[in-house]
Structure formats: structure tokens, C-alpha cells
Amino acid sequence: MTGIPPLTFRYIDGHMVPRSRAQADRYYAEGELYALEETHARSDATHRHFFATLHDAWLNLPETMAPQYQTPEHFRKRLLIQAGYCDEQQIVFATENDAVKAASLVLGRDDYCVTNVEGRTLTIWTAKSQSVRAMGAKDFQASKTAVLELAASLIGTTPETLTQNAGQAA
């Protein structure tokens, strides 16, 4: 089953009891078996530290590279895409010219996405959301690590140095 929001359960007397019975009834069928996976909420401090570190990296981009990333948000989303934390959509058009026109329309609506036209095929990459609701602690940490590694390489430092220097900003 996909599309089920995270539900909170409490372990009581040998049973996993949903915090909201009505919500559990909406997504689960009585008597069925379901795999339970423990998740940990991510800390606000980790979230803030990531954004502060990325902002510092953005401020330290080489002048030749800075125009590619107009804002820290552009920088973060492009790095998420580069690290593979993105959704990919491919659309085949009747002509290459149609694909090029569509690419410009897409970029006009979402300047954070990345597009590529090869022949009649338009590929669109959109960064995955790192919101608490969309990405749990484990996935957030993995995406954070990947993005900070890319950011550090762009400014000629190590991820460790980058995160240490931003530690005071968080």
C-alpha cells in the first residue's frame, strides 16, 4: 500500500494501538498483516544546520558558477537533482521543435527544475521535497549528506570543513 501518511502507534499490553482509530481504519483492513517500520523524527537542529551550511556554501561559490544558482533554494534543488533525489518525467512530442517549446514553458512555470531535450523527448527533473512530511529522518540524512558532498566539491572544500564552519550559524 502506498500513499499512507505516517500514523502514530503506542505499544500497549502486547498490541500496537493506533493513536487515531479512525485514521487507522481508513488505511488498514482488519485482520490483514502489515509490516511495521520504525521511523525517527528528525531534529529541528539538524534541519537548520543543513540549510545554514548550504547557504554558506552558496555564498562561497566561485564567481563563474554563481549565476547558475540565483538563490540558495536554486542551489539546494539543483544539488538534490544532481544527487538523484528527484522525480523524472519523460514526454515524447511529435516534433523536436514541440519538445523545445514545451521545455521553455516548463522552465517558465518552475525555474527550479532541470530539463533536457533529446530529439523529440523532453525530460524534466524536479527535486524531491525535503519537508518533514515528505521525507523522514533517514532519507533526509542521506539527501543532506549527498547534497553537502556536492556543495563542498563545488567550492573546493570537504563536507566536514563545510559543516564545521556553518556550525555557529545554526
Q: pLDDT tens for residues 79-96?
A: 999 999 999 999 999 999
pLDDT at 81: 98
- Distance between CA atoms of residues 79 and 59, nearest Å: 15
pLDDT at 2: 54
Residue 73 has pLDDT above 90, yes or no: yes
- Distance between CA atoms of residues 145 and 99, nearest Å: 34
Mean pLDDT for all residues in the chain: 89
DSSP helix/strand/coil, 80: helix
The rounded percent of the chain whose pLDDT value lies above 70 is 94
Residues of 83-107 as b/e, b for ≥16 C-beta within 10 angstroms?
A: bebbeeeeeebeeeeebeebbeebe
